[in-house]
Each structure stands twice: as C-alpha cells, then as structure tokens.
Amino acid sequence: MGKPKVVLGVSGGIAAYKACELLRLLTESGHEVRVVPTAASLNFVGEATWAALSGNPASTEVWETVHEVPHVRIGQSADLVVVAPATADMLAKAAHGLADDLLTNTLLTARCPVVFAPAMHTEMWEHPATQENVATLRRRGALVIEPAVGRLTGKDTGKGRLPDPAEIYEVCRRVLARGVGEQDLAGRHVVISAGGTREPLDPVRFLGNRSSGKQGYALARTAVARGARVTLVAANTALADPAGADVVRVGTAVQLREAVLEAAADADVVVMAAAVADFRPAEYAGGKIKKKDGQDPAPVALVRNPDVLAEISADRARDGQVVVGFAAETDDVLANGRAKLLRKGCDLLVVNEVGEARTFGSEENEAVILASEGSEIQVPYGPKETLAEAIWDQVAVRLQP
Ligand code: CTP
C-alpha cells in the first residue's frame, strides 16, 4: 500500500505559519502531502515554503498544469483533506459549494474525510453566519474542530486561535485511521474529567495522587475525532490542550464536582477518568505549617469529599445520559470492579490494575470494561488511545438515536 494521501488546504489567516509544522508532522510520519494554498494565504507563507516542505508543487489556481485536470484529480485521490487554518471566508465558501480556486474545487471533489481547523477573531467565529456555515459543514459530515481560546493576532484574547499543530495532527491521524462516515459521536456533547485532584493542607502543601491525565486526554482527542463536542475538566495536568476540546481547569475535588456538574447539564455522556481524592484535610492552615523542635507533628484530620460519579449516576441531568466511571484497583481487580459498578450506579466501569510502574504516567494501559447489564470487554495492553476508542465504541451503542 502506498503512503496515505493528504491534501493540506491553507487559507488566508496569520495562523498559516503554524500549518508549516502540521505539514512537517504529516510528511515525517509517512504521509504524501499536497499543499493547496489560497491566493490570500500566500501573503503569509509563500509557495516556495510549501513546495520545499512537501516535496510537491503548491498551486493555488485551476489554470496551472490544466492537462492534469488538477481541480478534480487532487480531491478525488485524497485520503484526507485538512484545511488549517480555515478562515471565516473559507468556511462560507465550503458551506455554499463555491469553487473559485483550486482549494474550493478540491473540497467539492473530495469523497474522503474533511477536517477544518478554523482560526479567526472571536467576533467572526461567533457571528451567526459563521456558526450556520459550521453547522452546515458538520451536518454534511465534515469535522470542524472548535478553535482554541487564547491570544489572537492583536493584543486581544478569546476563542479563535488555531489549536496546537501537533494536536491537529493527532486529529488527522485518528480520522485517517477510522475512515469516512465513522463520526458516531457527531452532535453529542461529552464531558470528560481527567488528571488528579489536589487537596491543600496549607499554602505550599497538598494531598494528591499520581494520575497524569493521559487517559482522560486520550478520551478527549478520540472523541473530537469522532465528531463530539468535548468539555475536558482537567485537574492539575501538564499536557497540551487537545485540539477542539473546551478545557476547564480545576484543582480540588470540590471544584471538579462543580465544573463537571455544570458541563453535564446538557451532556449526552459523562466520563469520570479523573482520580478524585476521597478525602481532604478537615482544616486548611492559612500559613505554612511549621515544625516545632521536640514536638511530634499534629495528625492531619480528614473529611470525606463528595463522590461525583455516584452523584452524576444517581441524578442524571438528561434522559439517556451515559455515565462511565473508572476504577483503579490493586487487588481482586474484577470482583472489586463489579462491586464498585453497582455501588456507583454508572453504565460502564473501566477497571484497571494499578501499581507503582503500571498505568500512572505511562503511555499504555490495559483494562476491562464492565457494563451494568453484565458484559465484560477485555482491552489488551496497548496505547491509551486504543482503550479510549474501545470505551467510545461501548458508549456509542448505548446512546439513544
Ligand atoms: N470518583 C468520584 N468522586 C470521588 C472519588 C472517585 O467521582 N470522590 C470517581 C472517579 O473519577 C472514578 C471512580 O469514581 O471514575 C472510581 O474511583 P476510585 O477511586 O477507584 O473509587 P472509590 O470510590 O475511591 O473507591 P475505593 O476507595 O473503595 O476504591
């Protein structure tokens, strides 16, 4: 089999320079990339850069090499088209089927998955015209990644930034692996908690745990690639924001509960992948706790934290909401998992065995997905992404039409 063929469409926004890195990631991982820039985008990055980095000509118009019928051939032979950045103008043209240059012609002839990574000012993104165009494109099966929140071209900040190129690359990779017509989470809102909570003792110390957040982030990435709107409630993680996810940062279990409940109000799915502290110090010392010569330290009194998973499962914000929990166990893994599934009242419980060198912080995971109706799916040791996909497969069959 030849290399997967990717068309990288670049439209005229300042974020065009970030597409150079996306191109590099695609070519270095074995994709044959044809860059199709719009004429406006050449104001930001020139044709020579695209040709040199891709090893292919980069034309903007349909009038070059006409004998090769490029306006039809490039789209027809692509395995994936990704437009990054996609400007408001490009989204409008794509939504209305205009075809006045090579990229818009390519979008009309492509029968493969199409990913748009919009980047523009917040006002343009939020304009009803843009939002309707995005909705049209999504309805037709395109994957339009939500822009990131952050610094924009000028001094302003807001929603509209192009996500990190490495994260756009991850979306492309997932979409290429799954193929067209596989966006089984399209139109669904999924809420994922990730990371580990920290319960402060004093201004410099906390009770925490070893969760890195990688499994929750893998769930977020894969859900975006399957078409979901994703809210990621991240507790103390140090990972890059997944492209397309709305990231809400929290510290403690109480903050996590608040953020998850708020996002869950209109969610189709809630996945509690975070390691939530069961206890917190009964008292918070406003100043640093000092040692005193000749005295033993005072014991730390703890109080219970709310159980977010049990609460969400018992009191579903929506009919048919699917709730997924995780269980980290060191002994009697399956028996403890079954008991926990019953106790928490969720639909699925992902049970993994943990130990010093297993699961926490690693790139790989192994688990059993227990379902409330009794089924048991074994997911062999492998990338956290593979486990994430297996979880979404189980969620997707439980979602109401
Ligand atoms: N969880 C939660 N709120 C808590 C504790 C845990 O929502 N206060 C969620 C976790 O996000 C996870 C699941 O519950 O999805 C199981 O977490 P785990 O720590 O394994 O279970 P515990 O309830 O702490 O049970 P035990 O301490 O008996 O193992």
313-345 pLDDT tens trace? 999 999 999 999 999 888 888 999 999 999 999
User: Of 27-31, 68-72, 150-154, 180-184, which gets the smallest average pLDDT?
Assistant: 180-184
Residue 303, judged by CB atoms within 10 A of its CB (0-12, 13-18, 19+), counts as exposed
| 181-185, 230-234, 330-334, 379-383: which is most confident | 230-234
Is 44 within 8 Å of 14 (Cβ atoms)? yes
Which atom, in ligand 1's list, is nearest to the CA of 274?
11
pLDDT (0 to 100) of residue 173: 95
Q: Which of 207, 236, 302, 309 to mutate to test the pocket of ligand 1 (most atoms within 8 A of CB)?
A: 309
Strands 229-235 and 205-207: unpaired
Structure confidence at residue 154 as a pLDDT band (50, 70, 90): confident
pLDDT (0 to 100) of residue 358: 60
Nearest CA to ligand 1 atom 14: 309
Distance between Cα 284 and ligand 1 center (Å): 23
Dihedral of CA atoms 148, 129, 78, 241 in degrees, nearest 10, equals 10
368-378 pLDDT tens trace? 999 999 999 99
Is 323 within 8 Å of 316 (Cβ atoms)? yes
121-130 pLDDT tens trace? 999 999 999 9
155-209 pLDDT tens trace? 889 999 999 999 999 999 999 998 756 789 999 999 999 999 999 999 999 999 9
237-292 pLDDT tens trace? 999 999 999 999 999 999 999 999 999 999 999 999 999 999 999 999 999 999 88
**pLDDT mean over 205-225:** 96
Is 220 within 8 Å of 207 (Cβ atoms)? no
Ligand 1 lined by 309 (C-beta under 6 Å):
yes
Ligand 1 lined by 25 (C-beta under 6 Å):
no
Structure tokens at 48: 């020579």
Using the predicted structure, report yes or no on whether residue 359 has a pLDDT greater than 60. Answer: no
Distance between Cα 281 and ligand 1 center (Å): 17
Instruction: Report the alpha-carbon distance of residue 102 to residue 107 in Å, rounded.
Output: 9
Percent pLDDT > 70 in the chain is: 98
Partner residues linked to 196 by β-bridges:
275
Ligand 1 lined by 278 (C-beta under 6 Å):
yes
Ligand 1 lined by 274 (C-beta under 6 Å):
yes
pLDDT (0 to 100) of residue 62: 80
Nearest CA to ligand 1 atom 3: 307
Assigned architecture for domain 189-399: 3-Layer(aba) Sandwich (3.40)
Which CATH superfamily groups domain 5-178? Flavin prenyltransferase-like (3.40.50.1950)
Distance between Cα 241 and ligand 1 center (Å): 24
| Selected residue with higher pLDDT from 63 and 310 | 310
Q: Catalytic pick from 105, 209, 305, 352? A: 209
Whether 236 sits among the annotated catalytic residues: the reply is no
Q: Which of 191, 311, 326, 391 to mutate to test the pocket of ligand 1 (most atoms within 8 A of CB)?
A: 326
Ligand 1 lined by 390 (C-beta under 6 Å):
no
Same fold across 5-178 and 189-399: yes
Would you kindly state where each structural domain of the chain is located, as residue ranges? 5-178, 189-399
Ligand 1 lined by 368 (C-beta under 6 Å):
no
Nearest CA to ligand 1 atom 18: 327
Structure confidence at residue 379 as a pLDDT band (50, 70, 90): very high
CB atoms within 10 A of CB 275: 26
Kindly report the backbone phi and psi dihedral angles of residue 329, in degrees, each rounded to the nearest multiple of 5, phi listed first. -125, 150
Q: Which of 201, 321, 210, 184 is nearest to 260 (CA)?
A: 321
pLDDT (0 to 100) of residue 132: 98
Please state, in angstroms and as integers, the Cα–Cα distance from residue 172 to each residue in 29, 40, 231, 284, following that order.
Answer: 12, 24, 20, 46
51-106 pLDDT tens trace? 999 999 998 988 777 777 777 889 999 999 999 999 999 999 999 999 999 999 99
